[in-house]
Structure 1
């Protein structure tokens, strides 16, 4: 299992940069990390109980707390800090970022919600 060798928070751009011992580096937006939190608030207590996270475009990370040698806790400025991000989870989010992000945007669209990226895609399709 890959392990992070460096974790850098870029608060201005709202991105978390994670370098793994595999030589791979991922930049994950705070919004992406917030909507894919492993907390019960987001995932529910079982399949089908997930809560779609809305309006998290401007969320930022205030602090990062290490949890043993296997995870970090991210403290978001909207008060959310209950999800743990294991090394395995962070690596999975990095490797599958595009797929997961597209899934999130599709869910927003299906449920009739807006998002700046959805609005941009819609305007590209009409031109």
Structure 2
């Protein structure tokens, strides 16, 4: 079982099922793994965001850079980077880039996209 914890910014999106992907620095799940979705993990405020545990359906490379977005399998993603950012809960690509730059203190971010579906 793999657990992902989400900041307050994404809680409503994850809880409602509108956000069905997350980008992390490391590959945390494999396709077919059950995933648990939380906020406040490892704190007294910890709570599970969904009653059912979704199943990981995709894990792939992603690089978020000021000038462009790179994804592992382009057939699995929208062609428009603003559309890609919206799937992850951001207003647009500029919003996504700013969030990753602030969070990680680097101009670019390289990591892994994890997607899930409820069975």
Q: Larger C-alpha radius of gyration, 1 or 2?
A: 1
Tell me the TM-score normalized by structure 2: 0.28
**Which has a greater percent of strand?**
2
